[in-house]
Amino acid sequence: MSFGSFIFQGDDDDWIIATQIVSGQKDLFRLIIERYERPVYGMGMSFFHNTEDASDFAQEVFLKVFHNLSRFEGRSRLSTWLYKIAYNTAVNSINRKKEYHSLAEDEVLTENGIPERIMLRKLACEAVLEAIRELPERFRLCIDLFFFYDRSYQEIGEITGFPVNTIKSHIFRAKKILRDKLKTYSGLDFGGNEWESTF
């Protein structure tokens, strides 16, 4: 993605873009929004369960990021710092009334293949979602940050404030539950082989 003389490639260039914004090129902030608006909005949907609140949440998060960008010191990835702001905004919101809703519950099945196979894939996905719903809220949050946001244990710790060993324990337990659920559907492709390969 290009903007003027800049080519925005993601994490490697985040520090450069952030420095330019802080130096006065505030119009470059649109690059940060374009890159991270989808995952931030997704986190909003996970917490608030409706598009209006998720949109308001995303706007609030990016306003906070913009106003606090000068405090970003580059000790972590900008994305991790941004997700921490998003997470804290969500959990501290006085309007939060519903519990966390995993992004896995929003996965869309591709309706390709013979009817029997489609039905088995649906049943497999339902088994995964059932397993995820059985997890405590903080387990589900760690699963989302690990699988859907591609965060490391250390980064999840920075975002949530959970101890790294606690995060490892959460993800290990969640993987075991999901793996046991998936054994019945071994060899099926239901929404991507990354689920099984990751376990």
Q: Give tens-digit pLDDT for 134-153.
A: 777 777 888 888 877 888 99
Q: Quote the distance between the C-alpha of residue 22 and its chain's center.
A: 26
33 pLDDT higher than 70: yes
Residues 40 and 113: their CA atoms lie apart, in Å, by: 33
Structure-model confidence comparison of residues 78 and 99, the more confident one? 78
Residue ranges of domains in the chain: 2-91, 109-198
Q: What pLDDT band is residue 196 in, cutting at 50, 70 and 90?
A: very low
Which CATH code fits 2-91? 1.10.1740.10
Residue type, 52: E
Q: What pLDDT band is residue 192 in, cutting at 50, 70 and 90?
A: very low
Residues 153 and 146: their CA atoms lie apart, in Å, by: 7
Q: Quote the distance between the C-alpha of residue 146 and its chain's center.
A: 8
Q: What is the pLDDT of residue 170?
A: 83
Average pLDDT over residues 189-199: 45
Residues 66-86 have pLDDT tens digits of 999 998 888 888 999 999 999
Which CATH code fits 109-198? 1.10.10.10
Mean pLDDT of the chain: 76
